[in-house]
Structure 1
Amino acid sequence: MISADEILSIITAVFYLGLLIHFAIRFARSRWWIYFFIGLFCAIRIVAYVIRAYVESDAVTYGSSKWISLYITETTLLSIGVIFILLILARLYASILPKLRHVAGHSRGKFEATLVLRTRLFLLPIIACVIAGAVLASPDYTESQQNTGLILRKVAVLGLMAVALIFLYAAWNYRQRYPENKRAFELCLVVTGLFVVSLIYKIVYTFRTSALTTTWAYFVFSPLLELAALVVLSVDLQMYFLGRKEDKLPKEELHDLA
Structure 2
Amino acid sequence: MNPILQVENLKKVYSDGTVALNNINFEVHPGEFIVVIGPSGAGKSTLLRCINRLVEPTSGDVVFKGKKINKIGARQVKQVRREIGMVFQNFNLIDRLSVVNNVLHGRLGYTGTIKGALGLFSKKDIAEAEEILERVGLSKQKYKRADELSGGQMQRVGISRALAQRPRLILADEPIASLDPASSKIIMDHIFTICKEDKITAIVNLHQVDVAMKYATRIIGIKSGEVIFDGQPSHLTKNIIDEIYSNAKQPLVNAQ
Q: Which TM bucket (shorter chain)?
A: under 0.3
- Where relative contact order (Cα < 8 A, 6+ residues apart) is larger, the structure is 2
TM-score in terms of structure 1 length? 0.26
Q: Larger radius of gyration, structure 1 or 2?
A: 1
TM-score, normalised by the number of residues in structure 2: 0.26
Greater helix content:
1
Larger strand percent = 2
